Chain A
Amino acid sequence: SQTIHQWPATLVQPVGSPLSLECTVEGTSNPNLYWYRQAAGRGLQLLFYSVGIGQISSEVPQNLSASRPQDRQFILSSKKLLLSDSGFYLCASYLGPWGTGELFFGEGSRLTVL
């Protein structure tokens, strides 16, 4: 079965500081990986997705970036955090089979920017 590890689980950072959230996936190979964010009182917004190592697609212009240095590792970063970056960040993996499966989510990382 598939497992997604996200860390840190909780993070409080000052405005202007850097950010690194990590996600690793176990139990599968060559997954599609996704970063979603849930802002307060809002739904889940897709930020980035990756279909393979080094392949990143950005869904919305923002202060964040993503990288996929290894097959089962997905990293969300920022050089300078903004207040609006606060939220609950979720890493997800596509379970397949192709076209008929669903996304499997990790436990999330809560970021508060002060």
Chain B
Amino acid sequence: DQQVKQNSPSLSVQEGRISILNCDYTNSMFDYFLWYKKYPAEGPTFLISISSIKDKNEDGRFTVFLNKSAKHLSLHIVPSQPGDSAVYFCAASRIQGAQKLVFGQGTRLTINP
């Protein structure tokens, strides 16, 4: 049972344009959502998060949008840069509890010069 889904395994975007990565979840108990970035042979690094009381959180070039009714979140990167090429994972958890993150399958983002 995949509770967090990233249906696009890969995405290719031109440098300078907007990258939009999508994520869907099924468990309505999730109330905290995160995006991680991962380079090959390295551990994931935290990018940005959002709690369920918000619908948008922005940090520099990165913005996360949350649509609770649709159980959908997205990560916008603008403008996209070559260094943004990586695998992006969305994750969800419950604020109460042991902070167990449930991850999606990941989306490989490639920024073309």
Contacts and interface: CB of A to CB of B under 8 A. Distances in A.
Residues of B in contact with A, size category = 20 to 34
The number of chain A residues touching the other chain, given as a range, is 20 to 34
Contacts, number: 63
A68 interface: no
Given A102-B34, A108-B42, A43 B95 contact: no
B28 interface: no
Interface of A: 4, 32, 34, 36, 42-46, 49, 51, 57, 59, 88, 90, 92, 94, 99-108, 110
Given A59-B100, A90-B43, A103-B101, 19 more contacts: A42-B105, A43-B4, A43-B6, A43-B103, A43-B105, A44-B44, A44-B89, A46-B101, A46-B103, A88-B41, A99-B95, A99-B96, A100-B95, A102-B46, A103-B99, A105-B36, A105-B44, A107-B42, A108-B43
